[in-house]
Each structure stands twice: as structure tokens, then as C-alpha cells.
Amino acid sequence: MHAMQYELTLPADYDMGVIRDRVARLGHLLDDWDGLGVKAYLIRERGLRGSPVDQYAPFYLWNTVEGMNAFLWGGGFQGLSDDFGRPSVRQWTGLAYEEGGGSHARFAVRRRQPVPASGRLAEAVGDAVREARRLAAEDGAVLAAAAVDTSRWELVHFSLWEHDTPKADGDVFEVLHLSAPGLDRLPRGRRW
């Protein structure tokens, strides 16, 4: 599993209806993308749920590098780059994925944190795996994942929720659409 996200931080007076319309019009195009586990089309709006910005920030969990590369180098990502400029794309190696009991993702939480500089790496990633398991067990959780970027030594925790009161710390996003063609093929549990 590979996690990926890019963020388009928009002007404070940007009409977020433009993003909502874009996702309503184009979101289905990844509903059957080969190699994609799940793509959550995420926005956050300035002043809502603690957000300081207007932002479009899709989050992906990929089953295959080939699927991710086909998206980035093929037509999928080019349309966004043409319309908004090419954003920096963050990537993390998967540590854990767990399914929750929820069924309809309405909100997402993403928390990035540094891997502690001291201590054993196995303990730090073990804690991340346990956090994914804990989040998935919470009421209303649809899924939870943990991943690491070893170039920055950064952990990312990502979870999807049915309700707007998630039991997770981090940036809260609204889910506009969920493409999940390979959700059933995302490997469960710890990834090593």
C-alpha cells in the first residue's frame, strides 16, 4: 500500500462551489482506476472545523505503484495540473490499514507527525500501527491507515468517518466523493 496526497490551497475568497462542481463532474473517472484502493476527494473551508484555509486535498491509498504511476504520468493528474498548476505530491509507504464499522465516508482526518529522533524505529511505527487499529475501532470510523515518509521521517495517520465528530486528532476534511475500486484488495493489518 502506498499513500499519496497533494494540496491546493486556494485564495480566501475562492468559490469552493467550483471545486464541488469539479468533483461532481469528474470524480467518477477514478471509480474503476486499476491499482487504486481508494481516493477520497477532500476539501476544507476556512473557518469550518478549525480550518485556516480553503483547500482541495485528495488523499489516495494505492494497491500498486503501477496504478499510481499511471495516474501521475497519464491523463488523470494532467487535467488537475492544467487547471491549477502542478502541485507537490506527497507519498508515504504504507504501514497499516484497518477497516472500521462505518459505511459512508462523510469526513476525513489527516494527521502528520515526525517520527521521534530518538528511540527505536520499530516502536514508533508499532505505535502508528496500533493507532490505525484504535481509530478503525471507534464508532463511525470507515477506515484508518498509517504510513511513513522516510525522506522526512514523517508519519501520516488517515481516517474516514461517517460523522462530523471523529475520534481522531488532525486536520478535518469534508469528503465530496469516494472512489474505491480496489478497497477490498487493500492489505489489512501491519505491512511488514
The CATH code of the domain that includes 65 is 3.30.70.100
Query: What pLDDT, on the 0 to 100 scale, is given for residue 168?
Result: 95
Counting the structural domains of the chain, the total is 1
Closest to 104 measured CA to CA, from 177, 169, 32, 31: 177
**Distance (Å, whole) CA 33 – CA 13:** 33
Give yes or no for a contact between 92 and 113, defined as CB atoms under 8 angstroms apart: no
CA distance 39 to 180: 6
Mean pLDDT, consecutive 10-residue stretches, the chain (192 aa), reads 98 95 97 98 95 97 97 91 96 98 97 95 96 98 98 97 94 98 95 85
Q: Report d(CA 169, CA 134) in Å as an integer.
A: 12
Domain that holds residue 160: 2-190
pLDDT at 137: 98
Q: How far apart are CA 27 and CA 22, in angstroms?
A: 8
Which pLDDT value is given to residue 188?
95
